[in-house]
Structure formats: structure tokens, C-alpha cells
């Protein structure tokens, strides 16, 4: 099972607050295209697509590329403006053998309960040589995460509940994958801390759901205080792990 249920409340919060702006998307487009050369007729799998914001971005960037969006949560699928979104998960992908050219997993790898099984299934649907692009926060690499700055308890949740880079690499190695790249990517998550504080929805963030109510309330107070005196955009740094 995923770390959180992703019911209708979670899905609504995710849709309302977790879609990135053009600046943030641009940073990720640059990173992705260092490992992926989009071409007409290519098929990209957005695995665990949530409410479909990345699928929308891929379709806008590369109109001649097919996007297969797959999401296990019915509430997320119902909220997705991108259509169609198919039911499925990392160990049961609704796609034929060797039918996709690349696989994208954005902030989803920590929800996969059986990484070796997922690696085998991704190997099945992926064409030989195609990349698996994993966007995530990883244990021990929290310095660039705003959530961990204001909610230090989230660091413990990250370290205890999310797979380490080495854990993901070892699991995918069982299906013949090797690491092709690993890099941090800085993104503009919000135009300001004030905007982030005003629009914060706990249900949209796995790490905030994994901490206690008291810890969450203390972090809200820290964020609100910082928002009154801090200018400039909110920058977060997540990692891109690429396997082939």
C-alpha cells in the first residue's frame, strides 16, 4: 500500500497545491532532456501520475509524443484534467511488453511497497535501453527541502519511510537496470514563503501526514513567522535518479 491513502481530501489538496509553475517545470524539462531525446511517435509512461500535471506538461512540451498516464488512486484519477488516466500501479502496469520508450515516476517511489516487483514490471513494459526517470526526495538529502526546514520531524519521517538511493538502485539492479545519472534539480515551488504559507495543505504532502499533529502545528508557526520577513521565491531541491 502507499504511505497515505490518497482519498478525495488528499486528491483535492494535491490538485490545488502541488502543480508546479512554468519556471519550476522548465528546470525539470532541462534535466529530463539530458537523458531523454523526445521524438515523434515516442511513448512516455507517467507512472503514479496523480492528478496528471506531469502528463499535461509532457503533452504540451512534446505534442507528437504519446503519454500513457497510470494512477492507482481512484480519487486522483477523478481529479485529473489530463485524460485518459488508467488504473494501475507499479507492479501491474496496463501496457504491453516493450511498449513504452521511457518511464517517469514523480514523488511516487516511496509509495511503492515492493521495489523489485516494480522493477520487473517496468522492465517488462519498457523498450530496451529506455530510461526510468525518478524524481524524488531521498533520505540523507533533505537540506534543500523547505518542509524539512520548518518541520524537522519530517527529516525523521523521510529517513524512516522513504527508500534510499542505494535501495532503489539495488532493487532495480535485480531487473537488469544500472544507474545512468543522478543529479539535484532546483525548482521554484512557490513565488514566496508567504504564498506557500497561505496555500499550505497538509493533506498534499506525505511527509507532513507522517508527523504528529503537534509537530505539524509547530512547523506552521515557524513557516508563518518566516513568511512575514522573508522575500523571494521558495526554492526546493529534489533529485533526479535515472536508470537504464
Give 2 or 190, the one with higher predicted confidence: 190
- Res 4 pLDDT > 80: no
Residue 206 CB contacts under 8 Å (≥ 6 apart), including other chains: 3, 4, 107, 110, 111, 161
Q: Is residue 200 part of a domain?
A: no
Q: Is residue 58 part of a domain?
A: yes
Going by pLDDT thresholds of 50, 70 and 90, the confidence category of residue 15 is confident
Give the percent of the chain with pLDDT over 70.
Answer: 99
pLDDT, tens digit, 9 for 90 and up, residues 195-226: 999 999 999 999 999 999 999 999 999 999 99
Nearest to residue 31, comparing CAs of 204, 240, 243? 240
Give the percent of the chain with pLDDT over 90.
Answer: 90
- Res 172 pLDDT > 90: yes
User: Can you read off the three cell numbers belonging to residue 140?
Assistant: 540523507
Domain that holds residue 123: 8-141+161-188+237-243
Q: Is residue 14 part of a domain?
A: yes
- Res 237 pLDDT > 70: yes
- Res 144 pLDDT > 90: yes
Q: Is residue 217 part of a domain?
A: no
Q: Is residue 46 part of a domain?
A: yes
Residue 22 CB contacts under 8 Å (≥ 6 apart), including other chains: none
Domain CATH for 132: 3.40.50.150
Q: Is residue 121 part of a domain?
A: yes
Give the mean pLDDT of 132-160. Answer: 98
- The lowest-confidence range among 20-29, 122-131, 171-180, 198-207 is 20-29
Going by pLDDT thresholds of 50, 70 and 90, the confidence category of residue 1 is low
Q: Whole-angstrom Cα distance, residue 126 to residue 136?
A: 20
Provide the number of structural domains found in the chain. 1
Q: Is residue 102 part of a domain?
A: yes
Residue 134 has what pLDDT?
Answer: 98
Residue 12 has what pLDDT?
Answer: 82
Q: Is residue 55 part of a domain?
A: yes
Residue 135 CB contacts under 8 Å (≥ 6 apart), including other chains: 28, 104, 105, 106, 107, 185, 238, 239, 240
Going by pLDDT thresholds of 50, 70 and 90, the confidence category of residue 14 is confident
Residue 180 has what pLDDT?
Answer: 98
Nearest to residue 102, comparing CAs of 179, 181, 42? 42
pLDDT, tens digit, 9 for 90 and up, residues 84-134: 999 999 999 999 999 999 999 999 999 999 999 999 999 999 999 999 999
Give the mean pLDDT of 56-82. Answer: 95
Amino acid at each position: 500500500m502507499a504511505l497515505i491513502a490518497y482519498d478525495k481530501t488528499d486528491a483535492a489538496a494535491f490538485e490545488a497545491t502541488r502543480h508546479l509553475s512554468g519556471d519550476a517545470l522548465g528546470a525539470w524539462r532541462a534535466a529530463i532532456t539530458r537523458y531523454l531525446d523526445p521524438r515523434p511517435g515516442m511513448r512516455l509512461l507517467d507512472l503514479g501520475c496523480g492528478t496528471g500535471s506531469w502528463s499535461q506538461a509532457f503533452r504540451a512540451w512534446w505534442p507528437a509524443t504519446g503519454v500513457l498516464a497510470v494512477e492507482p488512486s481512484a480519487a486522483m484519477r477523478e481529479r485529473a484534467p489530463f485524460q485518459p488516466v488508467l488504473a494501475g500501479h507499479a507492479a501491474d502496469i496496463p501496457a504491453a511488453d516493450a511498449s513504452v520508450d521511457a518511464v517517469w515516476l514523480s514523488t511516487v517511489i516511496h509509495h511503492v511497497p515492493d521495489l523489485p516487483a516494480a522493477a520487473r514490471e517496468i522492465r517488462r513494459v519498457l523498450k530496451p535501453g529506455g530510461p526510468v526517470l525518478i524524481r524524488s526526495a531521498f533520505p540523507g538529502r533533505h537540506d534543500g527541502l523547505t518542509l524539512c526546514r520548518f518541520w524537522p520531524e519530517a527529516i525523521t519521517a523521510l529517513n524512516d519511510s522513504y527508500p534510499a538511493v542505494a535501495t532503489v538502485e539495488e532493487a532495480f539492479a535485480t531487473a537488469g537496470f544500472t544507474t545512468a545519472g543522478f543529479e539535484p534539480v532546483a525548482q521554484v515551488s512557490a513565488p514566496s514563503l508567504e504564498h506557500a504559507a497561505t496555500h499550505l495543505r497538509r493533506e498534499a504532502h506525505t511527509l507532513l501526514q507522517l508527523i504528529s499533529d503537534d509537530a505539524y502545528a509547530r512547523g506552521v508557526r515557524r513557516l508563518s513567522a518566516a513568511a512575514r520577513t522573508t522575500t523571494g521565491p521558495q526554492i526546493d531541491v529534489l533529485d533526479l535518479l535515472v536508470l537504464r
